[in-house]
């Protein structure tokens, strides 16, 4: 059985300590997932978290946890036979595109990647809203491009 890191962090409560409250969504593709060059393993969005201070165990020294911006965390695998240099992902909530992020690097075939991106706080879906992440555009290291044949509406 495949263990999903984001789900384990969320279940253990560690993710909420690190990046704030977690909003889970079901994973879906606007296009047939078997035709997409990347496989989305998981997609989690988190609202911004304000800085807060709480008492230490000794009660003498307060501890401050810094705030974090709203984030989109995408865990995916390069399912294509070619290295990828750029991927544009879309966050979809209730069937509408609410945010776009770009991942730039050198992603080898079968590479398993998990990256976090800052997004606008108003792009984070409300709890229990059906959400997904979809690849919108992919640029390969060889110069070729793939575009989602059925992108989500805006």
Domain boundaries, the chain: 5-147
Does residue 134 carry a pLDDT above 50? yes
In this prediction, residue 108 carries a pLDDT of 97
* Residue bearing the bigger pLDDT, 20 or 133: 133
List pLDDT tens digits, range 69-107.
Answer: 999 999 999 999 999 999 999 999 999 999 999 999 999
Cβ atoms within 10 A of the Cβ of 20, count?
Answer: 19
Rounded to 5°, angle at Cα 44 from 30 and 81: 55
List pLDDT tens digits, range 6-62.
Answer: 443 443 333 433 333 333 333 333 444 457 899 999 999 999 988 888 888 887 788
Residue with tokens 């989602």: 148
Residues 6+ apart with CB under 8 A from 107: 78, 83, 84, 85, 87, 113
Can you tell me the distance from the alpha carbon of 104 to that of 115, in angstroms, rounded to the nearest whole number?
10
């Amino acid at each position: 059985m495949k263990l999903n890191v984001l789900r384990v962090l969320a279940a253990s409560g560690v993710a909420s300590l690190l990046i704030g409250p977690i909003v889970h969504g079901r994973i879906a593709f606007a296009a047939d997932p078997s035709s997409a060059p990347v496989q989305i393993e998981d997609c989690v969005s988190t609202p911004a978290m304000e800085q807060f201070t709480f008492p230490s165990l000794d009660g003498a020294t307060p501890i401050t946890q810094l705030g974090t911006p709203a984030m989109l965390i995408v865990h995916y695998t390069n399912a294509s036979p070619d290295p990828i240099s750029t991927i544009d992902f879309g966050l979809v909530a209730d069937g509408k595109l609410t945010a776009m992020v770009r991942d730039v690097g050198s992603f080898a075939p079968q590479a398993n990647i998990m990256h976090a991106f800052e997004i606008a706080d108003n792009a984070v879906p409300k709890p229990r809203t059906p959400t997904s992440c979809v690849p919108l555009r992919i640029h390969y290291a060889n110069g070729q491009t793939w575009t989602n044949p059925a992108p989500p509406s805006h």
